[in-house]
Amino acid sequence: MLALSTSIAAVALIIPGYSPRIAFGAMIENVATASGIVTVLNSAARYYVMGVAVAFGFKMNLFNIGTNGQYQVGALFAGAAAGSLGLLGPINIAITIGIAMFCGAVWSLIPGMLLVTRNVNIVVGTIMMNGIAVGLIGYFLRTRFRDPTDNLTAHTKTIPTDSRLPDLNRILNFVGIELPVSTKLHSFLLIAVLVGVVFYVVVYKSRFGFDLRATGRNAAAARASGVSANRMVLITMSISGALAGLAGMSVLLNQAYEYGDRFPLQLGFTGIAVALLGRNSPSGIAIAAFVMAAIEQGSRGLAMVGIPPQIGQILQGTLLVVAVVAYELANRRGRITAIREASGVLAPGASRL
Amino acid sequence: MILKRFLPTPKISIKPIILGLGVLGVLSLARIFADAPAITSSGTFSGAIGLAVPVAMAGLAGLISERAGVVNIGLQGMMVLGTWGAGFFGWHFGPWGALFGGALFGALGGALHALNTVTFGVDHAISGVAINLLAPGIARFLSGLFFEGNDGGTLTDSPPVPNLGKLTMPFFAGGRIGGFGTPDLLMWLEKRGWFLISDVAGLLGGFFRNIATESALMLLLVPFVAYVVWRTPFGLRLRSSGENPSAAESLGVNVVATRWIALVSAGSIAGLGGSWLVTNIGKYQQGQEALRGFLGLAAVIFGNWRPAGVLVGSILFQFTESVRLQVGDEPALAFVLAIGLSAFGLSVWRYFRKSWVGASSLLLLSVFIFAYFMSVDRVDDKLSSTFPYLITLLVLVFSSKRLRPPASVGLPWAKGQED
Amino acid sequence: MREPLIRLVGIVKKFPGVVANDGVDLTIDEGSIHAVVGENGAGKSTLMKILYGSQKPDAGEVWIRGVRQNFGSAKDAIDCGVGMVFQHFKLAANFTVWENVVLGCEPGSAVRINSALAKQQIMELSVRYGLHIDPNSIVGELGVGERQRVEILKVLYRGAKVIILDEPTAVLVPQEVESLFGSLKDLVANGVTVVFISHKLDEVLNVADRITVMRAGRTVAEIDVSPNISRNDLARMMIGADLPRPEAKRGILSERIILELQNVSVETQGRKLISDVSLSVREGEIVGIAGVEGNGQTELLEVILGLKEPDIGSILLEGEEIRHWSVRDRRDKGIGYIPSDRQYDGLMLSATLWENVALGHQRGYPASSNGFMTKEPLRRHTKDVVDQFDVRTPGVDVIAYALSGGNQQKLVVGREMLSHPNLLLAAHPTRGIDVGVQALVWASLREAKREGKGLLLVSADLDELIGLSDVLLVLFRGSIVARLDPQSVSPEVLGSYMTGANL
């Protein structure tokens, strides 16, 4: 799969006369350095959490396309709060994260409620909420939450140093790994790992997870078995939105320290891509997040060798499309094989019971 | 009896016309009450119609796809591709080239969606999202290859693209015939300030005076699509693919081919909408499509999957924006007042229909709107950008029973499948 | 000897894991009503689909009027005058009758449909064959019998001279069946040939001129109908043995009431789906509910299961009012459910067998404990189910999709039985199931009765109802219109109650 999309990208390169070998070489070079890997891990952590947010919904066939709006809303309010509240460092961090997750959950819960009460399609609902979020956030950023000290760009007040999430460099030093001064491994990575573990345990080992997956597999059967569809939708959307908000915190607390015009815009959609690529499984999403981040980092090094860095985006895009198709085809083949296997074991003639 | 042949056929029903007149009536009231004649001026309408064209195109594209049974969230991406294609071909071949390029590139997007969903059976929403993620990357990449450094182009903007100029209808709107000016009937009516009549004149003036040629062409697509989908055999088969593909297939309809054609056409129409954006500002610009693809989706829902409804929805959605641009933020508030009045009116109606929940929530909504109207003295543009989405959500919430999406839209289906 | 209209010679068709047709021969004469009978899985549907062109045979020939045919698709068959009316109607509910009928061969030009002409033509057909359908009605608003007539119009419109009907009476009531057969005879009088698939032997004997019996993918007999042939003769040919009758065994009925419904009504938009229904199910009693589909059976089960709440009335489970209880609480209290369509709401087809066994019973032993799933106990329990209920499968980790329909049903029945419910709701438990599995299911139900469980049985299979029930209630337009003794009731009386003829 990776091979197919890489070759498509290679073709895209060759046509205008660039060399794929140089391109991919430069990309790998840019990733394989210490600072490269650190950046990749930092990005991957945030994509991972966002991917899990989306995957939670996907597990019950609930397409939460609204993660963009959810994390932005969460980050806006969290950023405003963190900048303004003058509480002690760690408490501030906890509250900030809490606000982000709460707002994300609320923003996600609204379309969930619309689905449950008025049967509004969740895809349409979340897309609409995205649109509303854009306008609403622009408005608030311009008026209420604006940092008055900066007249050039609009952003919330900068978060004081003690309210930021620390980095892991010192721990790494302890283990013997020395990083260059400018590269910092974000501690959000730990949060991401925690999220992954919780995701696995909840979805695959708990009874709630069973109900969740049952609803995704056959909603009618799940309902007849005692699972309340409405409850599932509301709980899942809340979790999904909360996780989306959490993902935004990696940028707010580890990197930008303020919410504003320069905040990344497409994190929500990247999360969707990562969830799809990773086939909604805890480990799959991790790999997908890593791959996406690696491609992103790699393409930063392309400009130096005179190759348009957008090839990275194309690689990501084609990878997604190819993967999605491949998964569908694999599903189909899997079904036919399963039937063949099951009936092959039975005695001839008894197969038509 | 003879007259019957000229009356609207059942498919062009009276209802939307009455609804439209009702809306205009409310706007008229607001105009008079807030003394803001600009609300229903032809300038405002002209702006709204212009802005509405790309949304309407996206909406038509969505309509065609969904009527054929395929959910198309990838409209956004197809539009992006269309804007790039329009930029490229327009730069090299002039305004007609822009239209061609937009349609071509949009069609490519549609083909990809068809390949994913119809041939491979991928979930429609997933394919749409994937296309939306892929398209901007492609556009940027191609910009880097073709635009950068040529003729003033950069990574984000193309070299200049000419457009087709404007049209004005003679006699009704003062267009020129053979170099001579003609009287402007509609403008005369508009300036009278009469309730409803002047507003209708304003609306028509918006359509017929100084309209970009591209807009006119694309607007003609609306009745064209309506005719094809509802009056031709192909259209019937297309709709059957969206209602019950197994039934269609059992009667010899090639659902696979039909859906392919539908999606490729839809893509090209969405791309065409993108090319409007390009010719409007004279070049391709990264991100110019904003969120119009999604707005198009909203228009489809608002318009109950019918072309006339999609057009009305698109104009409505862009209206506030146009009012604001035309008039400034203060009078735009009058428009908000109009919405508040409608909400209040609707709540009274629901009250009489004994729909308590609907009535009280609409009442709450109108109170909210009035409060906003009183407290603010201008409409913030960011806030107003949320209106289309809000309106669509409200429509979904309050009229879910009236909405009639195609029965099998979005459902997985494979050739030979037995329901 | 006149050349037969249709000849199928040596038809072979295989699907993954199944040989549907194993060298089938079939001869049909023009202007006759020809029935094809056989148990489920005998290959009748597949054979007809090949005749209709929607499937291609792996081997064999199709001859029509002495000309060999090679149908590439249904369209080829239609062009040849062969039309099929499916058991599951293929109609677009949002379209009008005429749109449904002319789809694919619209009158007019490529740029304009001549809708006026279409409506006129359909009206003519409707009158000529006595079908009484208005071309302008919206299909979604028509009743089941009317929709079937639209399907017939569809094939007639295309000039079908041969009409194949797949289990046409499955959704009809005795009186509607009569009128359908009347229409069929009219069609034949007008030169049309009718072929229909059925497994309802007495109906077949009533109307067909000639019968082909299929078993295990082969033709085992072709006979002309005469008064000498009895149902049992046919049954013997179909399954190689006599038709099993579910024997009623009168057990000792206790007085303890497990389920009681008191004056339950369910309304929607002014229409009563269930109207003032009162019934009770005692320990060890099987209460049968008879009625034509659409008369409230589904709603009755939903209201007992908890998927719908009654507008009026109470539901008492072992004396406790449960009308406000959630589905979950009712399942946990001991209501078991065997759904009519296992694929719809009985199984998760993409999950393993052991996961499916947890469905409905996931809260508690052996499926979970303290909020976490317990895999090992669940797998062991699944093995028990598989062993005790003869589910043919290589293991419990198999995906449910891979099992055949009969095995899936056995799994569902076993799952419910082994969860030791005190009330068992069974809806059409042997629908679409072969006789062998059917017998096993009936045995399980009787076992449940012996163990003292209460059983509510909803079914369209009159034999099943009469054979298993202790008391038979008839549901018509949402009300209980009769309370009958299954030992002494006749199918005719039962049928008339089911159609409301006795009111």
pLDDT of A157 reads: 66
User: How crowded is residue C295: how many other Cβ atoms within 10 Å of its Cβ?
Assistant: 24
Using CB atoms, pick whichever of C337, C367, C402 lies closest to residue A224: C337
Residue C397: strand pairing partners: none
Q: Which of C94, C112, C115 is most worth mutating to test chain B (most B CB atoms within 10 A of its CB)?
A: C94
Fill in the amino acid letter for A76: L
pLDDT tens figures, C330-372: 999 999 999 988 888 899 988 999 999 999 898 888 888 888 9
Q: Which helix (H) or strand (E) holds B161?
A: none
CB contact under 8 A, B252 and C73: yes
Fill in the amino acid letter for B168: T
Q: What mean pLDDT is predicted for residues B379-385?
A: 71
pLDDT tens figures, B50-87: 888 999 999 999 999 999 999 998 999 999 999 988 88
Q: What mean pLDDT is predicted for residues C137-165?
A: 87
Read out DSSP for A24-41? HHHHHHHHSSHHHHHHHH
pLDDT of B109 reads: 93
CA B63/CA B83 separation, integer angstroms: 20
Q: Regarding the domain delimited by C257-498, which CATH topology (the fold level of the hierarchy) does it fall under?
A: Rossmann fold (3.40.50)
* C389 neighbors C411 (Cβ within 8 angstroms): yes
Is the model's pLDDT at A345 over the cut of 60? no
CA distance A290 to chain C (A): 29
Residue B167: strand pairing partners: B211
Residue B314 tokens read as 């698109």
Closest chain A CA to residue C329: A226
Is the model's pLDDT at C400 over the cut of 70? yes
Closest chain C CA to residue A333: C16
Q: Which residues of C touch B (CB under 8 A)?
A: 54, 73-75, 78, 84, 86, 88, 90-95, 99-100, 102-106, 108, 110-113, 154
Instruction: Give pairs for C321-327: CB < 8 Å, separation 24+.
Output: C326/A226, C326/A228, C327/A223, C327/A224, C327/A225, C327/A226, C327/A227, C327/A228
CB contact under 8 A, C78 and B236: no
Q: What mean pLDDT is predicted for residues A109-120?
A: 90
Q: Where are the domains of chain C?
A: 6-239, 257-498
Q: What mean pLDDT is predicted for residues A255-267?
A: 69
Is the model's pLDDT at A214 over the cut of 90? yes
pLDDT of A303 reads: 72
B272 or B95, which is more confident? B272
Closest chain A CA to residue C330: A226
The verdict on whether omega for the bond into residue B183 sits within 30 degrees of 0, i.e. cis, is no
Fill in the amino acid letter for A217: R
For chain B, give the percent of residues with pLDDT over 70: 75
Is the model's pLDDT at A212 over the cut of 50? yes
Using CB atoms, pick whichever of A135, A308, A329 lies closest to residue B386: A135
pLDDT of B377 reads: 63
Domains C6-239 and C257-498 are alike in CATH topology = yes
Using CB atoms, pick whichever of B127, B138, B297 lies closest to residue A127: B297
Residue B167 tokens read as 């049209």
pLDDT of C494 reads: 75
Judged by phi (left if over 0) then psi (alpha if -120 to 50, else beta), residue C318 lies in left
Closest chain A CA to residue C20: A352
Q: What mean pLDDT is predicted for residues A247-267?
A: 73
Length, in residues, of chain B: 419
pLDDT of C501 reads: 61
Q: What residues of chain A lie within 8 A of the CB of B125, using their CB?
A: 63, 65, 123
Rounded to the nearest 5°, which phi and psi values hold at C152?
Answer: -65, -40
Chain A (192-221) residues lying within 8 Å, Cβ to Cβ, of chain C: 205-211, 213-214, 217-218, 220-221
Establish, for the pair of chains A and C, how many residue pairs have beta carbons separated by less than 8 Å: 127
Q: What residues of chain A lie within 8 A of the CB of B384, using their CB?
A: 135
Q: In this complex, which chains have at least 3 CB pairs below 8 Å with chain C?
A: A, B
At residue B2 the predicted structure's pLDDT band, cuts being 50, 70 and 90, is very low
pLDDT of C403 reads: 85
pTM of the model: 0.81
Domain spanning C6-239, CATH class: alpha beta
CA C88/CA C170 separation, integer angstroms: 10
pLDDT of A286 reads: 92
Judged by phi (left if over 0) then psi (alpha if -120 to 50, else beta), residue B151 lies in left
CA C291/CA C273 separation, integer angstroms: 13
Q: What residues of chain C lie within 8 A of the CB of B411, using their CB?
A: none
pLDDT of B6 reads: 37
CA B28/CA B409 separation, integer angstroms: 39
At residue A300 the predicted structure's pLDDT band, cuts being 50, 70 and 90, is confident
Q: What mean pLDDT is predicted for residues B87-114?
A: 89
pLDDT of A323 reads: 83
At residue A110 the predicted structure's pLDDT band, cuts being 50, 70 and 90, is very high
B389 or C302, which is more confident? C302
Considering only CA atoms, which of A244, A245, A246, A218 is closest in space to residue A232?
A218
C-alpha distance from residue B35 to each of B46, B377, C59, C320 (Å): 20, 15, 82, 67
At residue A353 the predicted structure's pLDDT band, cuts being 50, 70 and 90, is very low
pLDDT tens figures, B231-242: 999 999 999 999
Using CB atoms, pick whichever of A118, A132, A324 lies closest to residue B390: A132
At residue C247 the predicted structure's pLDDT band, cuts being 50, 70 and 90, is low
B6 or C402, which is more confident? C402
CA distance B223 to chain C (A): 14
Q: Where are the domains of chain B?
A: 40-168+210-327
Rounded to the nearest 5°, which phi and psi values hold at C138?
Answer: -85, 130
A79 or A163, which is more confident? A79
Q: What residues of chain A lie within 8 A of the CB of C307, using their CB?
A: 223-224
Q: Which of A206, A211, A213, A218 is most worth mutating to test chain C (most C CB atoms within 10 A of its CB)?
A: A218
Q: What mean pLDDT is predicted for residues B187-207?
A: 74
pLDDT of B226 reads: 92
- What is the pLDDT of chain B when averaged over all its residues? 78
Residue C479 tokens read as 């009300």
For chain A, give the percent of residues with pLDDT over 90: 27
Q: Does C346 touch chain A (CB under 8 A)?
A: yes
Q: Does A106 touch chain B (CB under 8 A)?
A: no
Q: Regarding the domain delimited by B40-168+210-327, which CATH topology (the fold level of the hierarchy) does it fall under?
A: ABC transporter involved in vitamin B12 uptake, BtuC (1.10.3470)
Q: What residues of chain A lie within 8 A of the CB of C361, using their CB?
A: 225
CB contact under 8 A, C110 and B233: yes
CB contact under 8 A, C401 and A351: no
At residue A193 the predicted structure's pLDDT band, cuts being 50, 70 and 90, is very high
CB contact under 8 A, C92 and B243: yes
pLDDT of A350 reads: 37
CA distance A40 to chain C (A): 35
Considering only CA atoms, which of B387, B140, B161, B118 is closest in space to residue B256?
B118
Residues whose CB is less than 8 angstroms from the CB of residue C118 and which lie 6 or more positions away in sequence, other chains included: C98, C101, C102, C106, C107, C108, C135
Closest chain B CA to residue A318: B134
Q: What residues of chain A lie within 8 A of the CB of C349, using their CB?
A: 217-218
Residue C261: strand pairing partners: C279, C315
pLDDT tens figures, C184-227: 888 888 888 999 888 677 778 888 888 888 877 888 888 888 77
Least reliable range by pLDDT among A117-121, A186-190, B34-38, C265-269: B34-38
CA C271/CA C266 separation, integer angstroms: 9
- What is the pLDDT of chain C when averaged over all its residues? 84
CA B297/CA B58 separation, integer angstroms: 7
Using CB atoms, pick whichever of A210, A217, A342 lies closest to residue C402: A342
Q: Give the distance between the most distant pair of CA atoms in chain C.
A: 77
pLDDT of B323 reads: 67
Laid out side by side, the sheet with C210-215 consists of: C82-85, C162-166, C193-198, C33-37, C210-215, C218-224
CB contact under 8 A, C92 and B240: yes
Is the model's pLDDT at B330 over the cut of 80? no
Beta strands C286-290; C471-476: pairing state = parallel
CA distance A130 to chain B (A): 9
Read out DSSP for A160-198? PGGGSPPBSHHHHHHHT----TT---BTHHHHHHHHHHH
